[in-house]
Amino acid sequence: MTEKELKRVDTLAYEARRKVIEMAAHGGCYIGSSLSCIDLIAYIYSNFINTNPNNITDEGRDYFLLSKGHAVPALYGIFSELGFINESRLKNHLSTDDFIYWHPNTNIPGVEFHSGSLGHILSVAMGIAYDCKLKNLANKIVVMLGDGELDEGSVWEGILAASSLKLYNLIIVIDRNHFQANIETEKLSMLEPLEDKFRAFLYNVYRTDGHEFSKLHDTFCKVSKAKDRMNIIIADTVRGKGLPSLENQANKWFANISPFEEEKLLSELKTVREKINNKSK
């Protein structure tokens, strides 16, 4: 990535994090899950898929589907920064006057499908990918799953079927933050070794740091060149990333914060970013 591209996506992710905190102060949201995947979504929209406010109804657009729908504040934060929606709409979070809610709603420009019930959207993404394949279109279809979502049998059925159908235009991204709801994934159901499991389904498997943009760039570039197999990216992430006071805490998967807590978290976010920037100079 060029320095300019890196700065752009870093700023996008930072501003989206600010908005997640603000939504947590307007009725609450799934803040931990949102912050773990926000860097991934920022990279995907700014550097990987051709989807923008001007082409969201075009047949040739790329698709992004957020299967872990409770992390939608991350998506809405990105959308408000990229012009899909007006930033002022985020103040309507949970209002009956708008559709900014705890899960994706197709009344929001850019949302391809309702999600919330875990384990469903991979199959929806497969349907889109298969349709594009039949029409000989070159669309990329990216679907993001949570790691806890892998407990759903429908996910593994979909992974098997997608490989059998050779849906090479479908890219699966796993947000591996090691938590589901208020428990660590491995304490509920052993997921590892994920790489070996996915390879057994004849997938190319890439494991990377979900918060390091240069590593994400290298990984997605490899995916772009791998057109003869299914591709899965396992992104190792941190729940609550960017806010050390919330990171890796099982009881912080959902937060409904006060104005005082909002101000404190925004200040913490800014301080963390300044320290990182100072180290990189």
- Percent over 70 (pLDDT), the chain: 99
Tokens of 89: 């709409």
Instruction: Using DSSP bridges, classify how beta strands 63-66 and 141-146 pair: parallel, antiparallel or unpaired.
Output: parallel
Span 3-280 CATH architecture: 3-Layer(aba) Sandwich (3.40)
Q: Which residue has the tokens 């941190």?
A: 238
Query: How confident is the model over 109-160, as pLDDT tens digits?
Result: 999 998 878 889 999 999 999 999 999 999 999 999 999 999 999 999 999 9
Nearest to 94 by CA among 113, 72, 110, 79: 72
pLDDT score for 281? 64
pLDDT score for 182? 86
Q: Which helix (H) or strand (E) holds 267?
A: helix 259-280
Q: Which amino acid is at 21?
A: I
Q: Count Cβ atoms below 10 Å from residue 242 Cβ, excluding itself.
A: 24
Tell me which residues of the chain have a pLDDT lower than 70.
280-281
**pTM here?**
0.95
Query: How confident is the model over 189-218, as pLDDT tens digits?
Result: 999 999 999 999 999 999 999 999 999 999
